[in-house]
Amino acid sequence: MSRNKIGIVGGGAAGFFAAVNIAGKNNDAEITILEKSPRLLSKVRISGGGRCNVTNKISNPREFTSYYPRGAKELISVFSKFGSPETISWFESRGVKLKTENDGRVFPVTDDSNTIIDLFLSLSKKHGIRIVTGFDVNEIATLDSGIFIVYDRKRIAYSFDKILYCPGGFPDSVSFNCVRKLGHKIIEPVPSLFSFVCKSAAIKGLQGLSVPDAELKISGAKYSSAGSLLITHNGFSGPAALKLSAFAARELYAKEYKFKLEISWIRNDCVADSFKENTPDKKILNTHPDEIPARLWNRLVEQSDINPEKKWRDVSNAELLKLNRALINSVFDISGKNTNKEEFVTAGGISLKEIDFRTMESKLCKNLFFAGEVLDIDGITGGFNFQSAWSTAYIAASNL
């Protein structure tokens, strides 16, 4: 009896998760992983600062999908079958103990991504999965018999009955041409999850300061986000900036990453008024909201043309108005982006309209499946991108 020959293009999170799940469900499968790089699971290795943010604790599928700028609708059914609770159970049942941090992110208790990598490699060895590195896929051809032939740039070839295509979030044009030739539309990938470059003198010398609950808006656009904001040596980063970059990825790409960013450092739009009323005899210099670091507060007071040695009782209404405006509507010119290297993600990929999300099989090419970031799906930081990789890979594996 001939074995079911399955080729997996991509040796990343989705590829390995699918491979070990296929092997666990089907003893007759002959599985080969084809990976372009000499290093396997490189993104797993660096994720979460080398700790691997496996998933997020959110268990409700609909709530979970609210963290995806693209693919939210399609992922509801996927997460209903295999979501965060199932992922946690999958890893822990295979000996990987996990922990949930205060912000909902889930990590191995070892705080070491090698724990995840070692599990995948040991399961691959146990199931006899063939792993081929340095195989740069150049073409996928189909024969009349339905067999796939996968060629690399040196014309080395492998034949398969079925293929899972999951080379990651930003394959080169040749890799995408492989599936274009099979009829698939590619939504052009653009960067997501990046920090903002700002050269304004208003934040010079404030690097390293963070504000726990800022609100960010792109001037003249519908996009906004809230959360922790970090001032860096060349601009803004932190969850609020990264989330905004994800949801506005295409618009910011079109703007060439040059735009005006409105920042509300604090949600209370009358905070200066309340200080004048409640602490009239204190100096402005010595009185500031707990959420605002002292150095940032002093800078905002300075920008409002207020003498910091003044007592609150002596601040004029015009000065109060100017300070309140600085607190809730500081405007900065953004001149570029910096990729968040640990969480590099793209918006774009295989058009979701061409995928059957009940199986992850192509609607255009029988026995061709997709999973992971090669799809036009992306999430914000917090374990969401790995979860979509695990989930789509698991659905694909169940139907391969």
Query: Which pLDDT does position 231 carry in this prediction?
Result: 98
Give span(s): CATH 3.50.50.60, the chain. Answer: 4-190+346-399
Q: What is the pLDDT along the chain (400 residues), one digit of tens a residue?
A: 457 999 999 999 999 999 999 999 887 899 999 999 998 998 899 988 899 999 999 999 999 999 999 999 999 999 999 999 999 999 999 999 999 999 999 999 999 999 999 999 999 999 999 999 999 999 999 998 899 999 998 999 999 999 999 998 665 556 788 899 999 999 998 999 999 999 999 999 999 999 999 999 999 999 999 999 999 999 999 999 999 999 999 999 999 999 999 999 998 767 778 888 888 899 998 888 889 999 999 999 999 999 989 999 999 999 999 999 999 999 999 999 987 554 468 899 999 999 999 999 999 999 999 999 999 999 999 999 999 999 999 999 999 9
Instruction: Identify the burial level of 136 via C-beta atoms within 10 angstroms of its C-beta, where 0-12 means exposed, 13-18 middle and 19 or more buried.
Output: middle
The letter for the amino acid at 128 is G
C-alpha 137/C-alpha 228 separation (Å) is 41
Query: Which pLDDT does position 170 carry in this prediction?
Result: 60
Q: How distant is the alpha carbon of residue 109 from its chain centre?
A: 22
The CATH class of the 4-190+346-399 domain is: alpha beta
Q: Could you tell me the two tokens for 244?
A: 């905004």
Q: Could you tell me the two tokens for 285?
A: 């210099």
Q: Could you tell me the two tokens for 191?
A: 């960067």
> What are the residue ranges of helices labelled H in 66-193?
72-81, 84-92, 114-127, 173-180
The answer to whether the CB of 67 falls within 8 A of the CB of 379 is yes
C-alpha 224/C-alpha 291 separation (Å) is 20
Query: Which pLDDT does position 1 carry in this prediction?
Result: 41
Query: Which pLDDT does position 294 carry in this prediction?
Result: 94
C-alpha 230/C-alpha 206 separation (Å) is 10
Q: What is the largest CA-CA distance in the chain?
A: 91
Query: Which pLDDT does position 72 carry in this prediction?
Result: 97
Query: Which pLDDT does position 288 carry in this prediction?
Result: 86
